[in-house]
């Protein structure tokens, strides 16, 4: 069964139809890229998938269960982790504490009034950070971190939920090209290892074409192409949408 | 029927006066996002200045109206000085600091007015040409009131013209709608902010000056008007001129008819209306959602960790002194120490919602007072012993905290703070006006500790144990997952929800917990004093709590403790040293805001960190 199914999602803001009937599915262990020019509606799709926004029409199903209209925190409880295009972390906490919070929430221990956080879920949080190459940064406050590192913290936070679905909105923004490739390779191997379904958006076409198992192309709220990276890259309509942006040149 | 018409007319007159003051407040807020506590002081200054001018200028039209206009201009000048010397430096500071600074100005103006005009009420002459009254439906209605009814709409009209027909007005509206954009357009912000502040102050001064023929001029005018003006501005929607006019009308008429229909609950009525409006329309009648220009308490909040060793040692030493020395202290010192212990808990409880919670409360005294009254009522009506009373206190406060908090934590920023104020004023009014139950102004006497706890020293130790224990418990909570969740929703509501934190529930429970702790402090206070009075839950007490927390520093856990000690100590010393303690305290507050924007503990911490690398 598909981990995530989106069915005919629609969303308008005032007069703008940001998403106009988008359907797709993500399979366990798959890296699905959702690409498209600025303003295509990618983030809006993400927001509908994790409950940040309620779709005007359409359904979202997680492992067959209808989750349309659930609040983000309820969607998290069902095993979804997400990163944001503009990173959102707890600035007054260290990197380690950010991850600990996600772990504590996952283990439903956030109501605790007595035991200090510093003694809870520390080892698994450190292990997770080590896996993402962030061990050195563990003690630094998130408020002063570089943008690329914040993206990594968000990934660690999302992974702390032991997710079956990972939603990553531009996970490599703010990183140098070699770092991007490394991070996506790591994500892909984690996805395979833990059978996580990954949906991500990305503007760097190198990253997309070398790490996605499948690609969806969104333009002005409508899906215009879907398929294996090579197919999509050859698609004339996709090339037309991206023409002039220079973004498609990367793979040649 | 005739009475109703007259009542409606007198409602209009009050609405007009209220609007004059509120319009200035709302315009200032719209542009600079400053919640100006000192606005009421400007109103009072306007009244005093007008009194002086009108009584010293030659009698007649010129003397009177010249005096009124002169007073308004004079207050505008005072506004200019305050803006240039103080506010201009803190526009980028957190909301609460601005509030603290303007409160410092309130204190300073109070003492300056006392120095200049003395403590007695001053009666001004009536307005020439408007001394008589006019027959309306066979009843007499004062001409001056009719004149006031006209003034409000005229000022509204002039302001609307100013804002819609001049370039300056367009800039003001642009800045109100979107501060950043106005800045990007290259508007000279300094000049704009200064001119708006002067205009607002001038309006407050005019409002005060026009009261001279109506009521006596006294030193309580500032706080009584500022609370009403806040209500009007919040009900109307922050920054909305028309909203303020509508709200002034609503509140003015409500007052007029409230007195007629339900004289017992007039005080409650106004705040009840504000609460209802805010619950139904979280941004007031005509307000729009605020862009959160600044967080309530400051930019990136620092990480909290276990207390550094020297701080622990210092704390232990202080505690040791607090345990060992009192047997050698006199009764007076023991009372002061008992009070300090109580205030530490009171401040620490407010700190929980202000610091980690990121919410502001202008009405925390409600829970302190509720604890005190809970204990006192139990003692009076149920003959409950002290032990039971001390259990009732936190429970009663916590219960109200749950109910009030459910509404307050839904709103954000100033609106939320104002709703806490509204609830506090409602409880105050009940304590004040429900004489049969609470004894009203006379309070409840004879709330004595149990026999074993009667000696001052024993009661001090009891208080110390409970207060320090509860404060340490709060500290523990802040380090525990619940406290982290509280900070998480403050840091990023988006991220908190995305990892499964119920931000509303977390804030709500924190609010209730703070209320419980404030209630315990209040209960202990009741037995320490042997009586309770409505002042236990009035605005000055809420402000005390705010000052203690801000003085110590919102962002450090030791802040409320240091703040409580510093504030009580300072006040105690200043009161003993000089009659002008408000002037000095206000000066100290203003200086602190300008030079130690992170509070005392925050400044000490910054020092420590630069000296020892970032720990
Ligand atoms: N909260 C909102 N209110 C109004 N309009 C919005 C809102 N969110 C998105 N939009 C509009 O919807 C459209 C799609 O935006 P969205 O953020 O989904 O695009 P995107 O594909 O993620 O773009 P980018 O690559 O720049 O991140 C845009 O026209 C945007 O202006
Ligand atoms: Mg986007």
CA distance B293 to chain A (A): 17
Residue B205, both tokens:
């001064």
How high is the pLDDT of residue B312? Answer: 84
How high is the pLDDT of residue B293? Answer: 41
Number of neighbours of residue B293 by Cβ within 10 angstroms: 12
Distance A14 CA to ligand 1 centre (A): 12
Residue B255 sits in the same domain as residue B350: no
Residues of B engaging A, defined by a Cβ cutoff of 8 Å: 300-306, 476-477, 479-482, 484-485, 487-488, 490-492, 494-502
CATH number at residue B53: 1.10.3470
How high is the pLDDT of residue B210? Answer: 95
Query: What DSSP string runs through B164-200?
Result: HHSHHHHHHHHHHH-HHHHHHTT--HHHHHHHHHHHH
Please give the mean pLDDT across all residues of chain B.
88
A93-102, A128-137, B477-486, B556-565: segment of lowest average pLDDT: B556-565
How high is the pLDDT of residue B615? Answer: 41
> Integer distance in angstroms from the first to the last C-alpha of chain A?
36
Q: Give the Cα separation of B19 and A15 in Å (integer).
A: 38
Residue B352 sits in the same domain as residue B270: no
How high is the pLDDT of residue A251? Answer: 39
Looking at the structure of chain B, the number of domains it has is 2
Q: Give the Cα separation of A174 and A151 in Å (integer).
A: 8
Q: Ligand 1: which residue has its CA nearest to atom 5?
A: A13
Residue A130, both tokens:
């080590």
Q: Give the model's confidence band at A8: pLDDT under 50 very low, under 70 low, under 90 confident, else very high.
A: very high
Tell me the percentage of chain B whose pLDDT exceeds 90: 49
Q: Give the Cα separation of B109 and B120 in Å (integer).
A: 16
CB contact under 8 A, A89 and B491: yes
In chain B, residues with a C-beta closer than 8 Å to the C-beta of A120 are 481
Half-sphere exposure of B70 (CA within 13 A, CB side): 16
Residues B260/B261/B264/B266 CA torsion (nearest 10 deg): -70
Reduce the DSSP state of residue A222 to 3 states and report it: strand
CB contact under 8 A, A157 and B502: no
Instruction: Number of A to B CB contacts under 8 A, please give it.
Output: 110
CB contact under 8 A, A114 and B480: yes
Chain B touched by A112 (CB under 8 Å):
yes
CA distance A7 to chain B (A): 22
Reduce the DSSP state of residue B95 to 3 states and report it: helix
CA-based nearest residue to B534, from B421, B412, B443: B443
Residues A111/A117/A123/A125 CA torsion (nearest 10 deg): 70
Q: Ligand 1: which residue has its CA nearest to atom 4?
A: A13
In chain B, residues with a C-beta closer than 8 Å to the C-beta of A52 are 494, 498
Residue B19 sits in the same domain as residue B121: yes
Residue B355 sits in the same domain as residue B227: no
Number of neighbours of residue A8 by Cβ within 10 angstroms: 13
Kindly state whether residue B610 falls inside one of the protein's structural domains: no
Contact B372, B530 (CB under 8 A): no
Residue B232 sits in the same domain as residue B374: no
> Integer distance in angstroms from the first to the last C-alpha of chain B?
74
Kindly state whether residue B222 falls inside one of the protein's structural domains: yes
Reduce the DSSP state of residue B298 to 3 states and report it: coil
Residues 6+ apart with CB under 8 A from B294: B33, B92, B93, B94, B95
Ligand 1 atom at shortest distance from the alpha carbon of A11? 12
| Alpha helix (H) residue ranges in B499-580 | 503-529, 539-552, 559-577
Ligand 1 atom at shortest distance from the alpha carbon of A19? 14
Residues with CB under 6 A from ligand 1: A 13, 16, 18, 36, 38-44, 85
Kindly state whether residue B523 falls inside one of the protein's structural domains: yes
* B18 membership: H or E segment, kind and range: helix B2-32
Reduce the DSSP state of residue A60 to 3 states and report it: strand
Beta bridge partners of A223: A218
In chain B, residues with a C-beta closer than 8 Å to the C-beta of A47 are none
Q: Ligand 1: which residue has its CA nearest to atom 3?
A: A13
Q: Which of B521, B539, B557 is the last residue of a domain?
A: B539
Kindly state whether residue B249 falls inside one of the protein's structural domains: yes
Q: Give the model's confidence band at B531: pLDDT under 50 very low, under 70 low, under 90 confident, else very high.
A: very high
How high is the pLDDT of residue B300? Answer: 53
Comparing alpha-carbon positions, the chain A residue that sits nearest to B500 is A73
pTM: 0.86
Residue B159 sits in the same domain as residue B225: yes
Domain membership of residue B361 as a residue range: 338-539
Q: Which domains does chain A have, with CATH numbers?
A: 1-79+163-252 (3.40.50.300), 89-162 (no CATH)
CA-based nearest residue to A200, from A22, A49, A20, A10: A49
Residues 6+ apart with CB under 8 A from B232: B18, B19, B21, B22, B244, B247, B248, B251
Among the partner-chain residues A71, A77, A113, the one whose CB lies closest to the CB of B482 is A113
* A224 membership: H or E segment, kind and range: strand A222-227
pLDDT digits (tens, 9 = 90+) for B26-51: 999 888 888 898 999 999 999 999 99
Which of A33, A37, A43, A50 to mutate to test ligand 1, by most ligand atoms within 8 A of the CB atom?
A43
Kindly state whether residue B615 falls inside one of the protein's structural domains: no
Residue B217 sits in the same domain as residue B352: no
Ligand 1 atom at shortest distance from the alpha carbon of A45? 18
CB contact under 8 A, A143 and B300: yes
Q: Give the model's confidence band at B186: pLDDT under 50 very low, under 70 low, under 90 confident, else very high.
A: low
Distance of CA B419 to CAs B121, B367, B411, B438, Å?
32, 14, 8, 24
Distance B331 CA to ligand 2 centre (A): 68
pLDDT digits (tens, 9 = 90+) for B275-311: 888 888 888 888 877 654 444 444 456 677 777 788 8
pLDDT digits (tens, 9 = 90+) for B568-587: 888 877 777 777 878 888 88
| Alpha helix (H) residue ranges in B57-130 | 61-85, 95-117
Q: Is A202 exposed, middle or buried (0-12, 13-18, 19+ CB in 10 A)?
A: buried
Contact A96, B487 (CB under 8 A): no
CB contact under 8 A, A92 and B303: yes
In chain A, residues with a C-beta closer than 8 Å to the C-beta of B303 are 92-94, 97, 141, 143
CB contact under 8 A, A73 and B476: no
Kindly state whether residue B601 falls inside one of the protein's structural domains: no
Among the partner-chain residues A76, A92, A117, the one whose CB lies closest to the CB of B500 is A76
pLDDT digits (tens, 9 = 90+) for B410-461: 887 777 887 898 889 889 988 988 888 998 889 999 899 998 999 999 999 9
Kindly state whether residue B592 falls inside one of the protein's structural domains: no
pLDDT digits (tens, 9 = 90+) for B9-18: 989 999 999 9
Kindly state whether residue B52 falls inside one of the protein's structural domains: yes
Residue B28 sits in the same domain as residue B170: yes
b (16+ CB within 10 A) / e for B139-161:
eebbbbbbbbbebbeebbeebee
Q: Give the Cα separation of A13 and A53 in Å (integer).
A: 11
Residues B256/B257/B261/B263 CA torsion (nearest 10 deg): -20
Residue B81 sits in the same domain as residue B229: yes
Residues 6+ apart with CB under 8 A from B579: none
Which of A13, A19, A52 to mutate to test ligand 1, by most ligand atoms within 8 A of the CB atom?
A13
Residues in chain A: 252
Residue B273 sits in the same domain as residue B345: no
Chain B touched by A64 (CB under 8 Å):
no
Query: What DSSP string runs through B426-485?
Result: HHHHHHHH-HHHH-GGG-EE--PPPGGG-SHHHHHHHHHHHHHHHHHHHHHHHHSHHHHH
A146-150, A239-243, B293-297: segment of lowest average pLDDT: B293-297
Q: Give the Cα separation of A193 and A196 in Å (integer).
A: 8
Q: Which ligand is closest in space to the CA of residue A39?
A: 1
Chain B touched by A190 (CB under 8 Å):
no
Residue B236 sits in the same domain as residue B376: no
Ligand 1 atom at shortest distance from the alpha carbon of A203? 25
Q: Give the model's confidence band at B547: pLDDT under 50 very low, under 70 low, under 90 confident, else very high.
A: confident
Q: Give the model's confidence band at B207: pLDDT under 50 very low, under 70 low, under 90 confident, else very high.
A: very high
Angle at A220 between CA A217 and CA A222, to 5 degrees: 55
Residue B359 sits in the same domain as residue B231: no
Q: Is B391 exposed, middle or buried (0-12, 13-18, 19+ CB in 10 A)?
A: middle
Percent helix / strand / coil, chain A, rounded to 5: 40, 25, 35
CA-based nearest residue to B472, from B339, B268, B360, B315: B315
Q: Which of B233, B255, B280 is the last residue of a domain?
A: B280
Q: Give the model's confidence band at B613: pLDDT under 50 very low, under 70 low, under 90 confident, else very high.
A: low
Rg of chain B over CA atoms, in angstroms?
25
Which of A11, A16, A34 to mutate to test ligand 1, by most ligand atoms within 8 A of the CB atom?
A16
């Amino acid at each position: 069964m598909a981990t995530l199914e989106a069915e005919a999602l629609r969303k308008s803001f005032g007069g703008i139809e940001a998403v106009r009937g988008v359907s797709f599915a993500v399979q366990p262990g798959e890296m699905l890229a959702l690409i498209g020019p600025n303003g295509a509606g990618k983030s809006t799709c993400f927001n509908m998938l994790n409950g940040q926004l309620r779709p005007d029409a359409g359904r979202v199903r997680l492992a067959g269960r209808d989750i349309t209209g659930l609040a983000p925190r309820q969607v998290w409880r069902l095993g979804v982790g997400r990163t944001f295009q503009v990173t959102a972390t707890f600035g007054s906490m260290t990197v380690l504490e950010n991850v600990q919070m996600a772990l504590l929430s996952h283990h439903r221990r956030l109501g605790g009034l007595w035991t200090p956080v510093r003694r809870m879920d520390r080892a698994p949080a450190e292990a997770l950070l080590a896996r993402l190459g962030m061990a050195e940064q563990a003690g630094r406050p998130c408020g002063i971190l570089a943008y690329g590192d914040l993206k990594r913290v968000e990934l660690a936070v999302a992974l702390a939920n032991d997710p079956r679905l990972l939603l990553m909105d531009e996970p490599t923004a703010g990183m140098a090209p070699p770092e991007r490739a490394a991070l996506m390779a790591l994500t892909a191997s984690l996805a395979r290892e833990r059978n996580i379904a990954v949906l991500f958006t990305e503007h760097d076409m190198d990253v997309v074409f070398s790490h996605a198992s499948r690609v969806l192309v969104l333009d002005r709220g409508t899906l215009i192409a879907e398929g294996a990276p090579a197919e999509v890259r050859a698609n004339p309509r996709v090339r037309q949408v991206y023409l002039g942006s220079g973004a498609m040149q990367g793979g040649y | 029927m005739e009475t109703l018409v007259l009542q409606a007319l007198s409602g209009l007159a009050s609405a007009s006066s209220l609007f004059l003051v509120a319009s200035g407040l709302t315009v200032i807020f719209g542009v600079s996002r400053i919640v100006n506590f000192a606005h009421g002081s400007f109103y009072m200054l306007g009244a005093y200045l007008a009194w002086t001018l009108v009584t010293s200028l030659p009698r007649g039209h010129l003397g009177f109206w010249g005096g009124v206009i002169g007073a308004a201009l004079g207050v505008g000048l005072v506004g200019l000085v305050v803006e240039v010397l103080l506010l201009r430096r803190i526009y980028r500071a957190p909301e609460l600091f601005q509030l603290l600074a303007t409160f410092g100005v309130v204190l300073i103006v109070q003492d300056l007015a006392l120095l200049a005009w003395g403590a007695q009420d001053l009666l001004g002459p009536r307005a020439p040409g408007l001394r008589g009254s006019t027959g309306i439906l066979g009843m007499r209605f004062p001409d001056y009131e009719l004149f006031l009814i006209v003034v409000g709409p005229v000022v509204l009209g002039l302001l609307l013209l100013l804002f819609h027909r001049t370039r300056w007005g367009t800039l003001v509206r642009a800045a109100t709608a979107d501060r950043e954009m106005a800045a990007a357009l290259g508007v000279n912000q300094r000049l704009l902010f200064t001119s708006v502040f002067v205009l607002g102050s001038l309006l407050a001064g005019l409002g005060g000056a026009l009261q001279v023929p109506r009521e006596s001029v006294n030193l309580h005018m500032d706080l009584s008007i500022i609370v009403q003006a806040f209500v009007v501005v919040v009900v109307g929607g922050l920054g909305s001129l028309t909203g303020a006019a509508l709200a002034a009308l609503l509140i003015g008429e409500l007052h007029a008819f409230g007195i007629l229909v339900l004289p017992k609950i007039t005080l409650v009525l106004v705040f009840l209306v504000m609460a209802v409006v805010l619950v139904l329309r979280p941004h007031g009648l005509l307000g729009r959602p605020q862009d959160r220009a600044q967080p309530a308490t400051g930019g990136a909040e620092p990480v909290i960790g276990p207390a550094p060793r020297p701080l622990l040692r210092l704390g232990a030493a202080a505690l040791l002194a607090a345990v060992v020395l009192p047997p050698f202290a006199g009764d007076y010192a023991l009372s002061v120490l008992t009070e300090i212990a109580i205030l530490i808990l009171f401040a620490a409880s407010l700190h929980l919602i202000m610091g980690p919670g990121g919410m502001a409360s202008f009405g925390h005294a409600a829970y302190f007072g509720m604890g005190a009254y809970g204990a006192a009522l139990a003692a009076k009506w149920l003959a409950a012993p002290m032990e039971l009373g001390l259990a009732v206190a936190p429970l009663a406060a916590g219960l109200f905290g749950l109910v009030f908090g459910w509404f307050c934590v839904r709103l954000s920023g100033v609106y939320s703070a104002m709703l806490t104020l509204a609830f506090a004023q409602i409880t105050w009014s009940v304590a004040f006006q429900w004489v049969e139950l609470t004894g009203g102004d006379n309070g409840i006497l004879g709330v004595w500790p149990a026999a074993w706890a009667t000696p001052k020293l024993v009661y001090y130790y009891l208080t110390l144990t409970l207060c320090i224990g509860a404060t340490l418990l709060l500290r523990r909570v802040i380090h525990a997952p619940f406290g982290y969740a509280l900070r998480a929703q403050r840091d990023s509501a988006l991220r908190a929800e995305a990892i499964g934190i119920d931000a509303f529930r977390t804030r709500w429970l924190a609010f209730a917990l703070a209320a419980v702790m404030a209630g315990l402090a209040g209960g202990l206070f009741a037995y320490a004093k042997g009586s309770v009075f409505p002042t236990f839950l009035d605005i000055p007490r809420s402000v005390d709590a705010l000052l203690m927390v801000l003085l110590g520093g919102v962002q450090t856990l030791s802040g409320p403790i240091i703040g409580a000690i510093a504030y009580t100590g300072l006040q105690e010393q200043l009161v003993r040293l000089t009659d002008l303690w408000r002037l000095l305290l206000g000066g100290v507050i203003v200086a602190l805001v300008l030079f130690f924007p992170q509070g005392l503990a925050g400044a000490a911490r910054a020092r420590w960190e630069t000296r020892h690398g970032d720990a």
